[in-house]
Amino acid sequence: MLTHLTGNLDIWMLGFRNTVSLTVLSFIIAFVVAIPMGVARSHTGTLLSKIIYGYIYVVRGTPLLVQIFLIYYGFGQFHSELKDVGLWWFFREGYYCGLLALTLNSIAYQAEIVRGAVMAIPHSLEEAGASVSLSRMKIYRFIHIPIATARMMPALGNEFVLLLKASSLVSVISVEDVLGQARYLFSETLDLSVFYVAAINYLIIVLVAEAVMRRLEARNTWLAFK
């Protein structure tokens, strides 16, 4: 087992880098998009909220693997058109297609997390903000967002770990992530222990991610008193 690691360190390093960058990038991009989407979704009854719900329904209701195939092979069918508009470089690469699929997927889940956190804030706090003469925007900025952010930390940490493990699916569209590299080494050596090495890679990332989340959660000391 150790020889698989030490003999192919560069292969494993590339896989590790790709898995980390795919997960972290898609998570962060999705978070930025999910905030306004989740807030808009919390205003139930509006057309925008319904449209966003439609998106969430479709994304959560279909397997991520299907979404990955649709983006990678689906867009591949239009390669001449994509070349014309100058986007082929993006859809040609399994890595970018995987990044897009993971981001679109995570947006749906994170938007629901944001929505839940925003809707859990009692209306009475908005009134308190209004009574000290804060505008609607300031009530959002100084009351909703900090409280919601603190409350959704555990759910976001969970989503990150799920996304990390889901990212292994991109190995089927030729991305050289941890699992992709493990599958390559397995086909070379036919030794199952490469998958133990792959598993350890994911465990290390989770260990770091959990430590980061614990630190972020610890900053919100007020949560302990409620």
Interface ranges with other proteins (CB under 8 A) = 124-125, 127-136, 138, 142-143, 146-147, 150, 220-222, 224-226
Structure tokens at 90: 């993006």
Structure tokens at 175: 């991305």
Give the residue with the Cβ less far from other proteins, 192 or 218.
218
The count of other CB atoms within 10 Å of the CB of residue 62 is 12
> Which ranges of the chain would DSSP assign to H, the alpha helix?
2-7, 9-42, 47-61, 64-69, 75-76, 79-84, 88-92, 94-119, 123-131, 136-139, 145-166, 178-189, 194-218
Minimum CB distance to other proteins, residue 28 (Å): 23
Give the residue with the Cβ less far from other proteins, 130 or 192.
130
Give the residue with the Cβ less far from other proteins, 77 or 131.
131
DSSP 99-120: HHHHHHHHHHHHHHHHHHHHHT
Give the residue with the Cβ less far from other proteins, 124 or 187.
124
Minimum CB distance to other proteins, residue 153 (Å): 12
Give the chain's radius of gyration (CA, Å).
21
Minimum CB distance to other proteins, residue 138 (Å): 5
Give the residue with the Cβ less far from other proteins, 6 or 133.
133
